[in-house]
Amino acid sequence: MRLEKVCDFLKTQPRYRDSGGQCQIRCWVCGDSGKNDKPGNMSIKIDVEPGEPMVYHCFRSACGASGFLRTEDLQTMGCTDIDTLMELSAWNREVNPRLEKKFHAKENRGYQLVNLAISDNLGKLKYINTRLGTSFEFQDLRNYKIQLGLYEFLRINRINRLAFAEDKCDLLDEYTIGFLSMYSDYLICRDITKKIVTGNRYTTYRIRGKAKEDDMKIYCIPGELDILDPNPVDINIAEGTFSILGAYLNTNLRKKQKNQIWLANCGSGYKTTLLHTSRQFGLLDVNLHIWSDSEIKIGKYERLMQDAKDHMHLNSVTVYYNGIAEDFGHSKNQIRVESVELK
């Protein structure tokens, strides 16, 4: 028998070929090699009997990856369909309860963003426009997942329980600008005062539920990504939210390229952000663009490149510095892009 949804997903993978009881696809571990008109080196047993796992093996001699197909493998290949992941998870647990932890689908968080024209928000909107040289109106902020007031957000989404003590939440509400995280489970609150009156430049506010070890507290500018596009995907990463917004809005790279991701670490670290995003969307061929703070030396990114090359093919790696400011969180006339090609 075949797992219908899993097999349908495998058909979307590069270099797919059905050879009876097995299929061949491009290996999600090594990325394969050779001509594109040949079947992939990764072989997966798709005709399975009850109690039998879906075994895989990569026949590329330099790789040799093998094991039982798990939901994390499908996610690495770019599968986001909950029914497909649940089908494989249920099958694996029937084979052996230890083969895979029960898959729990992430809650669909349809949170609303609201920015009212009240005094505190007027000042925060002015801060954004002055810093980035933009002319945003309140309604424009939703396009970039920006929330000016914490309490407004909690009220409109009917969230009654605070993640911190009330006095701390008062400070966050008054002195920070919130950025909704990649999976909408955190508000990344950026203190915009000179003295950092909240005590931290960034405070990650868990919107609902308890924090988990694998939570990703990173900010992502909304956009579209076609994982079936054969060309490398451009991943753009900066340290902070304003820096990635400045790079996105006030440089020319966004206008020249398609199929891009724009991310801010917000303290998570470049390696964590890059590897997590690549696994989540099944990206094996990447152009990496780093929008660096001026004090970070190029050696850090050379080490990052060495660590990442075992997980994906880095088609190119470019580090950008702002020649007239400490980062890219500025208006266009305060940015002079200087680049270093690492690969």
Domain boundary residue, one of 206, 241, 273: 206
For range 19-45, the mean pLDDT: 80
Residue 228 and residue 191 share a domain = no
Residue 257 and residue 326 share a domain = yes
Of the ranges 29-38, 175-184, 216-225, which is most confident? 175-184
Residue 322 and residue 275 share a domain = yes
Residue 139 and residue 83 share a domain = no
Q: Confirm whether 37 is domain-assigned.
A: yes
**Tens of pLDDT along 89-103?**
889 888 876 666 554
Q: Confirm whether 216 is domain-assigned.
A: no
Lowest-pLDDT range of 52-56, 59-63, 77-81 = 59-63
Q: Confirm whether 214 is domain-assigned.
A: no
**pLDDT the model gives residue 257:** 65
Domain boundary residue, one of 206, 231, 256: 206
Lowest-pLDDT range of 113-122, 167-176, 202-211, 253-262 = 253-262
The answer, yes or no, to whether residue 256 has pLDDT greater than 70, is: no
Domain count within the chain:
3
Residue 230 and residue 201 share a domain = no
Of the ranges 59-63, 105-109, 158-162, 268-272, which is most confident? 158-162
Residue 198 and residue 225 share a domain = no
- Domain CATH for 315: 3.40.50
Q: Confirm whether 111 is domain-assigned.
A: no
Band of pLDDT at residue 184, cut at 50, 70 and 90? confident
The β-bridge relationship of strands 337-341 and 313-322 is antiparallel
Q: Confirm whether 107 is domain-assigned.
A: no
Residue 313 and residue 243 share a domain = yes
Q: Confirm whether 130 is domain-assigned.
A: yes
Residue 91 and residue 61 share a domain = yes
- Domain CATH for 43: 3.90.580
Domain boundary residue, one of 206, 240, 275: 206
Average pLDDT of the residues of the chain: 87
3-state SS of the chain is CCCHHHHHHHCCCCCCEECCCEEEECCCCCCCCCCCCCCCCEEEECCCCCCCCCEEEECCCCCCCEEECCHHHHHHCCCCCHHHHHHHHHHHHHHCCCCCCCCCCCCCCCCCCCCCCCHHHHHHHHHHHHHHCCCCCHHHHHHHCEECCHHHHHHHCCCCCCCCCHHHHHHHHHHEEEEEECCCCEEEEEECCCCCCCCCCEEEEECCCCCCCCCCCCEECCCCCCCCCCCCEEEEEECCHHHHHHHHHHCCHHHHCCCEEEEECCCCCHHHHHHHHHHHHCCCEEEEEEECCCCCCHHHHHHHHHHHCCCCEEEEEEEEEECCCCCCCCCHHHCCEEEEECC
Q: Which two tokens stand for residue 41?
A: 């080196």
Band of pLDDT at residue 120, cut at 50, 70 and 90? confident
Of the ranges 2-11, 17-26, 52-61, which is most confident? 2-11
Q: Confirm whether 157 is domain-assigned.
A: yes
**pLDDT the model gives residue 188:** 95
Residue 335 and residue 240 share a domain = yes
Residue 281 and residue 324 share a domain = yes
Residue 237 and residue 188 share a domain = no
Residue 143 and residue 72 share a domain = no
**Tens of pLDDT along 304-340?**
988 887 777 788 999 999 999 999 999 999 999 999 9
Q: Which domain holds residue 318?
A: 221-341
Q: Confirm whether 114 is domain-assigned.
A: no
